[in-house]
Structure 1
């Protein structure tokens, strides 16, 4: 049985079966067999790295034996927590997918060792660190699985929330401390496709290097120097990222995120991304918006007033072509769909301009307009201001499809921070 590059294909939960068992079980068995093969090979090797490789593969086998029954149980009960029969998704399914991705990562690594161990250029020291990191990762996921099993006992089957008064502190006291370092070192982004791993690695290196300069009041040169260290030493990078995640202030997060707002970064989309014919900001005045429900009832949505009072709201419209309704010089008919986008930044930083690079590419590949909301940011505008503005902008969009160059027959909601539900038309959620 061969395993493709996509973890999603290898982590199908409780659907396709081969010989009475989900196909992912074969992947777990294949990893054990491959690890045993490598362990047998390196056992007679009396060098330090040879023995560490032997111990590393034996440890991986032990972790697989521990994790396998735990993830098997979660895999079986995960469908009970779906919203409905046509929405096969919940946190339990997601975590099963993460564990399967880790096993797939370990299998590829073990087979890579198997293929190259007899070659002249085989680097034992490199693979020692890779195998040990993979073992630590699988062990940490096993700890998380113990937490999930505890959560399952705290609530009736199918109920996501505990039926009794339990606290997060009580949950974490039931299992060993999770090793966070393995998630940010050599195995960073193991659950994503290779193209995404490179992006995550770049972001983590930039964040670690920027934190050095930020907290020591350094400059760009020192940030580049320390960034080079984090590129060469994944373990050092992991320690720094974990330290930042545990102690970083909101001001640091905003300072890092707002790097994307610098003059240099603002020029990047026009140089490196798809060319678009429409890229303009639309300002919505703070006036009530009336929308109709599926039942045909009129619903009036008032503009947000919480914390900072009535304010105009900016939206960014991006389209690869000028469509009827959005421009007097339109060259294309209205699109059938539109993407409603809420940028990332933890509701404290960034804007639609920060995310313009990939929005341009989306507009070109999907060939539909994209409407991105520049909601107000905390702490000046704390919760629920941003949420209310997003909902208000959404309702405004429902009444202004023509101006946005779309018929509104099929629109998609993309959000990097949250999830909004509506009952007016079908919405496709993308992550």
Structure 2
């Protein structure tokens, strides 16, 4: 019985989750193809400007900073399946418009800016809804495994997408890649439409409408959530700027073409994929030392990756860094999500998304400025050193504050609408 319970792919036995996973592999692969194409387009339009690339990244993530908490409120109040369907249709339409501009030769940098803002606004609703929707598809017992598998298929697509995009850009240019991305969103829409709504495990609606402030007060009352969220904030701001540092490293340090850039990104993603599969065996909520320890390892590896003397060494070190990055992110995600009451999970995961991705605009601008003055390697050095310092600070603080977890539904069930419950 125990062996069956710990099977790495056990969540795929759930019909709704299996459909969702297949749709996401196709859709996210298209998204990562788009990331590679967009980065290459920006560098081509601006003469390899790190500042321009940082600006586009900042514009894409700024809406997450502004609107994600409201997106989490929508996820707790309305049908997450419907929200996800609409979000994917809008994202596909935006991608198609930009693709047409590129194919007709009329694209300008400000078009890319508008697209980044539009996509970021949609993501402010889509990301927290998607994270909270996983628990509705599989239930609390399978949530750790399903969350890990979500990271696995995300990083499978992250390996396939940039590699394929690099080859297609070299052969056909960026326009056709963007068209494929626009079409890929339909895979998730179709999967959502074919689900069985009666098999979803939806929490009871609260007596009053979900409010953002209630979610923030709930998190503030939970020190075991505050600590990993703070660590995620620092590392997300300084350490997770690979969308900016990797293209600059490939193009300005190793003088790589589009195909080689795609492979370098794929090496990072391959390490992340291995970490995702490693976490599928997790059967419960990670401990605080597991979160901070993985953060420290990530910081050290990112710093070492910045030193890489040649392309093959960089690919290996970035693969290891990708493993550590995803392992830390998953540990923090599981610790936060498995410690949250389902009635608040949309808002809690919105806060997690806000912290991890919404701070990226500030980090992208800072790292972009740093790389202009000191080269692409400086972004990796600085990100790794700050991440390591944050992890050491958290480890030191835990010695004095203790790390006792608050009870969760795994040990003490509570009503889904209870403000004091700890359902996973």
TM-score, normalised with respect to structure 2? 0.24
Which one has a larger percent strand, Structure 1 or Structure 2? 1
Which one has a larger percent helix, Structure 1 or Structure 2? 2
TM-score, normalised with respect to structure 1? 0.23
From the CA coordinates, give the structure whose radius of gyration is larger. Answer: 1
Bigger relative CO (Cα 8 Å, ≥ 6 apart): 2
